[in-house]
């Protein structure tokens, strides 16, 4: 009896406190046991199965790899940490954090506290610069780890989050020679001379940058806008900037109103801070249009890989804060209506924001292929938006995700990494397992 009492006390002491989220799968007729088994299966596909993207290194580290690009990215590392803390996988979380801190995070210099966005799987940096969404996820995942496990189990999670928050504040710096720029944009930063400003959040608009320095801090990526994360920082970061983070959350919501098309709900991959189309500079030496030639459209103004995340990010804010619920419900039905019009099992993964198809030279390639596909990553995020929707169509999207097979296409293309992670996030959302983790009492 005494032993049972002790076990009960220990279980109570480790019970995690969550904000409640809906299990949409169960609401739509799936059995709870089915949903639990499916969620476990999808998690194992990413972390433990034959097509896993998570790999352990020695006794204490691990990384998530973008297999098709042979690297580890702050995107995948921070996603992995967020998933691990949601599932209570402390060993995975700690391994990913140790690898990120050792190989990715700058410990001194201009970029102190920031993370090199891409490394080889042996830890060698492919680039020194940061992609701002990585920092966003690292901070939030660390705060949740502090809330869930405390800060006395070997890693002071709260202190690590606060260190990044302190380092991302605006500062002036002198550019260092660039090592491997961000894909497609590495040369632009090199064009700027003299002292520059570095900041994760643009100090004027309070919107997140595409990259915190160089050309990348002149514009933004709609998929980096996750107002719910700023609300988490305001509640539990304890960094003295709660009012700032609340403003950032509201500004991101206002931005998303402007950045999403009023009819289709689609958004550009990247855009200006006012939500308008991305204006790319034409640097000296770049080819000029020939007389009478139609200028090439900037493909960054299309809905494509990064853009897929926006429906799920808006869903997250709808679930966690509800601060913009009326607009978000309308957005959810608007974007599902568009994809429904394209065919629930047929829509492709890249469009112009008005819903027209891109020309061939606008299509962003992946894994050596330049091709439009019915990608499971987008199937996943559009299905996740069902949480916001009241129309009957939403069940068709949920069923399509449930029944979709994550397997190679006929031509051999397979993305275990990005498609796999977005699929897992969507199953977490729709099963009620992507939640705010509240500090233990």
Q: Is 182 helix (H, G, I), strand (E, B) or coil?
A: coil
d(CA 348, CA 337) in angstroms, rounded, equals: 14
pTM over 0.85, yes/no: yes
d(CA 320, CA 235) in angstroms, rounded, equals: 12
d(CA 29, CA 396) in angstroms, rounded, equals: 12
326 labelled catalytic = no
d(CA 181, CA 348) in angstroms, rounded, equals: 29
Sequence-ordered list of residues with C-beta below 8 angstroms from that of 166, at least 6 positions apart, any chain? 113, 239
Sequence-ordered list of residues with C-beta below 8 angstroms from that of 97, at least 6 positions apart, any chain? 81, 142, 145, 155, 160
Residue in 45, 66, 71, 75 annotated catalytic: 75
CATH of domain 54-176+191-218: 1.50.10.10
With 0-12 / 13-18 / 19 or more C-beta atoms within 10 angstroms meaning exposed / middle / buried, residue 121 is middle
Residue by residue, pLDDT tens for the chain (441 residues) are 444 433 333 333 446 777 679 999 999 999 999 999 999 999 999 999 999 999 999 999 999 999 999 999 999 999 999 999 999 999 999 999 999 999 999 999 999 999 999 999 999 999 999 999 999 999 999 999 999 999 999 999 999 999 999 999 999 988 776 655 554 444 344 445 678 899 999 999 999 999 999 889 999 999 999 999 999 999 999 999 999 999 999 999 999 999 999 999 999 999 999 999 987 655 445 555 566 655 556 789 999 999 999 999 999 999 999 999 999 999 999 999 999 999 999 999 999 999 999 999 999 999 999 999 999 999 999 999 999 999 999 999 999 999 999 999 999 999 999 999 999 999 999 999 999 999 987
75 labelled catalytic = yes
Residue in 306, 317, 319, 436 annotated catalytic: 306
Give the angle 222-92-438 at the CA atoms, nearest 5°: 65
Predicted confidence at residue 19, as pLDDT, reads 66
Buried b / exposed e across 393-404, counting CB within 10 Å, b at 16+? Answer: ebbebbbbbbeb
CATH architecture assignment, domain 19-52+260-280+297-434: Alpha/alpha barrel (1.50)
Predicted confidence at residue 180, as pLDDT, reads 55
d(CA 165, CA 414) in angstroms, rounded, equals: 36
d(CA 104, CA 107) in angstroms, rounded, equals: 9
Q: Where are the domains of the chain?
A: 19-52+260-280+297-434, 54-176+191-218
With 0-12 / 13-18 / 19 or more C-beta atoms within 10 angstroms meaning exposed / middle / buried, residue 190 is middle
Predicted confidence at residue 288, as pLDDT, reads 58
Question: 54-176+191-218: same fold as 19-52+260-280+297-434?
Answer: yes
Which residue carries 């380092």 as its tokens? 167
């Amino acid at each position: 009896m005494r032993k049972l009492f002790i076990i009960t006390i220990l279980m109570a002491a480790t019970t995690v406190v969550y904000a409640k989220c809906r299990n949409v799968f169960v609401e739509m007729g799936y059995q709870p046991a089915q949903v639990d088994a499916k969620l476990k299966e999808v998690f194992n596909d990413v972390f433990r199965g034959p097509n896993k993207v998570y790999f352990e290194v020695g006794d204490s580290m691990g990384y998530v790899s973008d297999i098709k690009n042979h690297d580890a990215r702050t995107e995948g590392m921070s996603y992995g940490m967020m998933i691990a803390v949601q599932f209570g996988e402390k060993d995975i979380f700690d391994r990913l954090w140790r690898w990120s801190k050792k190989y990715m995070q700058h410990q001194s210099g201009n970029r102190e506290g920031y993370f090199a966005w891409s490394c080889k799987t042996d830890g060698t940096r492919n680039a020194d610069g940061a992609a701002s969404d990585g920092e966003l996820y690292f901070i939030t995942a660390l705060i949740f780890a502090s809330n869930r496990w405390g800060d006395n189990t070997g890693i002071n999670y709260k202190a690590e989050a606060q260190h990044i928050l302190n380092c991302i504040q605006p500062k002036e710096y002198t550019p260092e020679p660039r090592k491997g720029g961000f894909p497609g944009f590495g040369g632009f930063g090199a064009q700027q001379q003299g002292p520059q400003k570095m900041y994760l959040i643009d100090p004027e608009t309070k919107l997140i940058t595409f990259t915190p320095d160089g050309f990348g801090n002149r514009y933004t990526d709609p998929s980096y806008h996750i107002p719910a994360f700023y609300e988490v920082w305001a509640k539990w970061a304890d960094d003295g900037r709660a009012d700032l983070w609340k403003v950032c959350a509201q500004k991101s919501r206002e931005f998303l109103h402007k950045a999403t098309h009023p009819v289709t709900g689609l958004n550009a991959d990247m855009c200006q801070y006012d939500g308008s189309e991305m204006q790319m500079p034409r640097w000296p030496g770049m080819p000029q249009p020939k007389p009478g030639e139609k200028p090439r459209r900037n493909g960054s103004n299309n809905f494509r890989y990064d853009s897929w995340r926006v429906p799920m990010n808006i869903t997250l804010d709808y679930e966690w804060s509800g601060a913009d619920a009326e607009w978000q419900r309308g957005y959810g039905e608007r974007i599902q209506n568009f994809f429904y019009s394209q065919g629930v099992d047929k829509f492709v993964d890249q469009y112009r924001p008005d819903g027209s198809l891109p020309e061939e030279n606008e299509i962003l390639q992946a894994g050596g292929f330049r091709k439009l596909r019915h990608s499971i990553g987008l199937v996943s995020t559009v299905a996740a938006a069902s949480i916001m929707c009241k129309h009957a169509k939403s069940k068709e999207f949920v069923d399509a995700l449930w029944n979709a097979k994550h397997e190679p296409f006929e031509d051999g293309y397979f993305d275990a990494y990005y498609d796999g992670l977005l699929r897992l996030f969507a199953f977490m959302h729709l099963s009620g397992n992507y939640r705010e983790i509240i500090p233990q009492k």
